[in-house]
Structure 1
Amino acid sequence: MKGKIVLEEHVSTELNNSLWDASGEATRNGRVYMADVERRLLDSDQRIADMDRNGIDLAILSLTSPGAQSLLDPRQAIAFAQRTNEQVTEQFVARHPQRFKAFATVALQSPRAAADELERAVKDYGMVGALINGYTNIGNADTAQYLDEPPVWEFWERVAALNVPVYLHPREPLPSQRRIYEGYPSLVGSAWGFAHETATHAIRLMLSGLFDRYPNLTLILGHLAEGLPLMLPRLEHRLHMQREGEGLGNAKKTVSHYFSNNFYLTTAGHFHTKGLLDSISEIGVDRVLFSADYPYESMATASNWFDETLISENDREKIGRGNALRLFGLK
């Protein structure tokens, strides 16, 4: 299929590279693999060549994880988000405006500053929403502020007013919560830990009452929604059985209602037809979006699978292009 749109596609900047020691990722994921990823994160020409070869018209870019979320100094995090949005615009979008758009980087260490920066990025740079890498460290590397918690609702109020989507991207679990991965460090990140961390985070948002207060909020989950299409029916059943128990949140509706009305999912990094069909059966084809997860994944792998997978051509067009055009108001 030609004319595809992808939206979990990552970049880096010199500022970002100066802050992180990538040796741990290289050890877990393989040094040769990560060296190639690091090179491609900074390269727009190779990215466009890969897009051309694989029938991709437009990529919505975002800063690679962990982004602003793991910076411990709030002032540094706020300045980092502002400069990152400027650099992504300068280095990628402004040079290739017909091929790239971008999600904003925001620093939730200060929800008000994050709201202001999102508004600036949308109005001044034409960014199409925000991508947030899971929880935000507050104080030290082993503390977390999740997006459903009260201080963050000030940010969500602005998101609702701007009416733009937020991509909830994975992040590794807190260091103190990795006991189950001891001896198997390759499981901590994208192979397994990302999905568990992000799916649970999404469930917290569903149970918090956030979508009752701001019913127009739209969240996007990658990797076929981190396993939620399969697991949400059981979750909903068990929550109903436990309805007189504690800690059920403040939601007025079921988790399946919020999943079907406030979430989209992408195929990023999960190129499996049976999983896609299950996802469509749970959320509907109008809320599924094609993506690759470049450069951690290959555009060729994603496109070869998607272009040949056994779905109707009408559904292929919706997932590959039409749904993204509608969601982001693109022409």
Structure 2
Amino acid sequence: MKGKIVLEEHVSSELNNSVWDSSGEAARNGQAYMDDVEWRLLDSDRRVEEMDENAIDISIVSLTSPGAQGLLDTKKSIDFARQTNDYIRERFVDKHPSRLKAFATVALQSPAAAADELERAVKDLGFVGALINGYTNIGNVDSAQYLDESPVWEFWERVAALNVPVYLHPREPLPSQRRIYEGYPSLVGSAWGFAHETATHAIRLMLSGLFDKYPNLTVILGHLGEGLPLMLPRLQHRLNMQREGVGLGNAKQSVGHYLSNNFYLTTAGHFHTKGLLDSISEIGVDRMLFSADYPYESMKTASTWFDNALISDNDRMKIGRENALKLFAL
């Protein structure tokens, strides 16, 4: 299919590389793999060449995980987000303005500053929304502020006013929550831990009442929804059975309602037709988006699968291009 649009596509910067240690990723994935990923994260020209080779028209790029969410100093995280957005605009978007768009990096250590930076990125830099790498560390590496918690609602108010999507991207579980992975470190990240962490985070958003207060909010999940299309019906059934129980949040609607009305799902890193069909059956084809997860995944692998998947050409066009054009007003 020609003219595809992708939106979980990652970049990095010299500033980012000075802050984060990639040795854990290298241990899990192999050094040769990470060496290849790291130069591609900094590159824009080869990225566009691969887009051409795979009939991808537009790529929406974002800072690789954990981004600003992992910085412990609030002022440094705010400065980091602003510098990162300026860098992405200059180094990627301005270099290929018709091909590359961007999600903003925001530092939720200060929700007010994150809201201001998102507004600047959208209005001044032309970014199309924000990508947030899961929970935000507050004070130490074993702390977490999740996006449903009350301090963050100040940020969500601005998101609703700007009417732009937020991509909820995975990060690893907190160090204190990894006992089940001991002896199997390769499961901590993208192979397994990412999905469990991010799906639970999304459920927190659904149960919090956030989407009742701001019904126009749009959250994007990658990897075919981190397993939620398959598991959410059971979750909804059990929560209904437990409706007299405690800790059910403040939501006025079912979790299935919010998934179908406030979420979009992408194919990033999950190139499986049965999974795609299950996702479509749960939320409809109009809320599905094509993505690759470059450079952690191959544009060629993603495109070869998607271009030949056993779905209708009408659905392929919606997922591959039309839904993204509407969502981001491209």
Aligned partners of 1:18 and 1:123: how far apart in 2? 29
Aligned partners of 1:196 and 1:24: how far apart in 2? 19
Amino acid of the structure 1 residue aligned with 2:114: A
Deviation of 1:24 (Å): 1.3
Deviation per CA, 1:211-263: give whole Å up to 9, x if none: 00000000000000000000000000000000000000000000000000000
Aligned partners of 2:211 and 2:43: how far apart in 1? 38
Amino acid of the structure 2 residue aligned with 1:269: G
In the alignment, is residue 231 of structure 1 matched against residue 231 of structure 2? yes
* SS across alignment from 1:167: strand
Deviation of 1:28 (Å): 1.1
2:184 maps to 184
* SS across alignment from 1:235: helix
2:315 maps to 315
* SS across alignment from 2:168: strand
Amino acid of the structure 1 residue aligned with 2:192: W
Amino acid of the structure 2 residue aligned with 1:195: A
Deviation per CA, 1:276-296: give whole Å up to 9, x if none: 000000000000000000000
1:78 maps to 78
Q: Give 5+ residue unaligned stretches, structure 1.
A: none
List structure 1 runs of 4+ shifted beyond 2 angstroms.
Answer: none
2:199 maps to 199
1:162 maps to 162
In the alignment, is residue 257 of structure 1 matched against residue 296 of structure 2? no
1:52 maps to 52
Amino acid of the structure 2 residue aligned with 1:13: S
Amino acid of the structure 2 residue aligned with 1:181: Y
In the alignment, is residue 126 of structure 1 matched against residue 126 of structure 2? yes
Aligned partners of 2:62 and 2:53: how far apart in 1? 21
* SS across alignment from 1:268: coil
Aligned partners of 2:29 and 2:151: how far apart in 1? 35
Aligned partners of 2:23 and 2:157: how far apart in 1? 38
1:111 maps to 111
1:291 maps to 291
Aligned partners of 1:199 and 1:49: how far apart in 2? 33
Aligned partners of 1:153 and 1:212: how far apart in 2? 12
Deviation of 1:157 (Å): 0.1
Aligned partners of 1:76 and 1:138: how far apart in 2? 13
Aligned partners of 1:20 and 1:253: how far apart in 2? 40
Aligned partners of 1:123 and 1:254: how far apart in 2? 34
Aligned partners of 1:288 and 1:169: how far apart in 2? 16
Deviation of 1:21 (Å): 1.2
Of 40-49 and 129-138, more deviation after overlay is shown by 40-49
Amino acid of the structure 2 residue aligned with 1:259: L
* SS across alignment from 2:5: strand
Deviation per CA, 1:102-129: give whole Å up to 9, x if none: 0000000000000000000000000000
Amino acid of the structure 1 residue aligned with 2:267: T
* SS across alignment from 1:164: coil
1:20 maps to 20
* SS across alignment from 1:92: helix
* SS across alignment from 2:10: strand
* SS across alignment from 1:132: strand
Deviation of 1:202 (Å): 0.1
Scaled by the length of structure 1, the TM-score of the pair is 0.99
Deviation of 1:25 (Å): 1.1
Amino acid of the structure 2 residue aligned with 1:130: A
Instruction: Within 5 Å, give how 1:136-175 maps onto structure 2.
Output: 136-175=136-175
Aligned partners of 2:271 and 2:295: how far apart in 1? 15
Aligned partners of 2:235 and 2:53: how far apart in 1? 41
1:41 maps to 41
Scaled by the length of structure 2, the TM-score of the pair is 1.00
Deviation per CA, 1:74-114: give whole Å up to 9, x if none: 00000000000000000000010000000000000000000
Aligned partners of 2:135 and 2:327: how far apart in 1? 25
Q: Give 5+ residue unaligned stretches, structure 2.
A: none
Deviation of 1:140 (Å): 0.1
Aligned partners of 2:99 and 2:9: how far apart in 1? 12
Deviation of 1:58 (Å): 0.4
Aligned length: 330
Amino acid of the structure 2 residue aligned with 1:90: E
The alignment yields a C-alpha RMSD, in angstroms, of 0.3
Amino acid of the structure 2 residue aligned with 1:200: T
Amino acid of the structure 1 residue aligned with 2:130: A
Amino acid of the structure 1 residue aligned with 2:38: E
